[in-house]
Amino acid sequence: MVQLVMLLLGVDYLRKRWRTLFVVGLIWLVTGVGLFVDALDDAIYFPMQLLAYLLLAEGLATLAVAWTGAGGQRVLRYVKGVAVVFAAALILAGHHHGNFVLSMIFGTLFLADGLLQAASAYVVRYPRWRVVLTLAVVEILLAIFFFQPYPTHYVGTAPYCLGLGLAFGGWNLLWIALRVRALRRLPAERKRTLRLSDDVIADHTIASRSAEARAATATDAANADAGADTPFEWDGPPGPDEKALTVHVWTPVGSARTQAQRALIVDRYIAAVDANGVISTGHAALESPEGIYISLYPGVEIDRSPDEFGRILRATRENDVPGIFQPDYATESKAWCESTTKVRIRNYSPARLDEFWDAYRQDLTYNLTYRNCSSTVSNALEAALEGSVGNFHGRDTGWRAFWRLIVTPELWVAAQLRKRAATMAWTPGLTLDYARALSMLADPRPFGWLKMARLALRRMMRTRRGWRQEAVDAADARAGRASS
């Protein structure tokens, strides 16, 4: 989640605040290690009741706004809200049973995530798969630590988790702060912007364009201050006549040649099998108003029969095939079919997208799991949205942008989707939900609870007007009867 926050805030935003990030990261790291060590005995000094009430409030707030999501976002919100409320209830219950159940739950989650990452790393073999496999082994060891009662007989479960979360979060903040500090020292011609598509500082975009973007942003802000005020948030997606970046997604079920055999979750995020046994994985593309169309497709037909599908899942060189980029959406949709779903985003950087596209299209390699249509669109989307939150209309450049991003539920949703895709593979289903979540972050919308409050207030006002109208009608009726 920390890396996604850094991506959306951008390097220009972070350069001014790297010292604060370093201090906060150091405090988090020390606090997390201290909490973990403190939980190794039965004398726990951390206020667990306060933590439980904070978790309860956060979980209830998430459940209250879960209905405002779409597709997988709504499901993940409900899952998160229920899980957090349940964890808070177990902490408040306390005693041996509550702590035991909580420890078993965390152990199961760590074990399932570790096994999933280990299996996907071994099967797919994407770059850095050995690093991910090592981290998966660490997760499995943590699961074993939660399962066995030593040394506190499950009393320290919650402090363990909080300590680990703070320690890893602090480490990520320190890493980001030090990298941003190093960027400050680079010569002007070598400055790079911050991109985290593969959890590294990539060099796809040069910061020389950032100066032009900042100057244009400052001009737009001055014009906005002088004239009509630009809205800080939009209540809804862009209209058909608005300039916006468009993510096209063909879902596996929607793009199957014949009637697909439905399989819960699998046909939404992985692949669908039609009546003839042919596997359909769907497709994703990105289109900008400036004329950029990014749609990577294999130049040669890939054998997607069930017998060969396991082999081609590996992101290794022998599975690389020549790829082609489709010229535009009209050509592709006419040759195939219209996209199943579209996600449109107003707040993006055409300059960064253009520079990403200039570098990316030089390589025509296609790989079904590592360099496919979905990973291409997701990387392009991240390039276009880099710094979109930190420099939103040139006005929200203080810590307000940071805190607003942190409390937006879609941040957690996007982080979970990004983690799953980075350790397995990007699919059209994951790209669709990821684009939806990022659209809520890049284009500020009213907070879900504020939207609920507005709806409730409007309903109350309509009810009161109805009561008043009923009273007036009743009075008129009585006056009519009295006069007759």
Distance CA 10, CA 392 (A): 11
Domain count along the chain: 3
- Residue at 300 is within a domain: yes
Q: Residues 356, 476: one domain? A: no
Q: Compute the mean pLDDT over every residue in the chain, rounded to the nearest whole number.
A: 76
- Residue at 307 is within a domain: yes
User: Is residue 294 within a helix (H) or strand (E), and if so which, with residue range?
Assistant: strand 293-294
Region 34-59 average pLDDT:
78
pLDDT score, position 399: 75
Q: Residues 352, 262: one domain? A: yes
Q: Are strands 283-287 and 341-345 parallel, antiparallel or unpaired?
A: unpaired
Residue 27 has pLDDT above 90, yes or no: yes
**How do residues 199-224 score in pLDDT, each as one tens digit?**
322 333 333 333 344 344 444 443 44
Last residue of a domain, one of 188, 206, 224: 188
pLDDT score, position 405: 81
Q: Residues 392, 289: one domain? A: yes
Query: With contact defined as beta carbons under 8 Å apart, do 18 and 185 qualify?
Result: no
Q: For residue 461, what are its two tokens?
A: 């006002």
Q: Residues 296, 174: one domain? A: no
- Residue at 223 is within a domain: no
Q: For residue 450, what are its two tokens?
A: 């504020």
**How do residues 438-480 score in pLDDT, each as one tens digit?**
988 888 766 555 565 565 566 677 788 888 888 888 877 777 7
pLDDT score, position 369: 80
Most confident of 44-53, 131-140, 422-431: 131-140
**How do residues 160-186 score in pLDDT, each as one tens digit?**
888 888 888 888 888 888 887 876 543
Q: Could you tell me which of 441, 399, 395 has the C-alpha nearest to residue 417? A: 441
pLDDT score, position 219: 41
Per-residue CA distances from 129 to 149, 315, 376, 422, 430 (Å): 32, 10, 19, 10, 20
pLDDT score, position 248: 94
Region 243-264 average pLDDT:
73
Q: Residues 246, 352: one domain? A: yes
Look at the pTM and tell me if it is higher than 0.75. no
pLDDT score, position 40: 79
- Residue at 414 is within a domain: no
Listed range (196-200, 266-270, 292-296) with the worst mean pLDDT = 196-200
**How do residues 88-120 score in pLDDT, each as one tens digit?**
888 787 666 777 888 888 889 899 989 988 888
Domain hosting 484: range is 448-484
- Residue at 234 is within a domain: no
Query: With contact defined as beta carbons under 8 Å apart, do 247 and 207 qualify?
Result: no
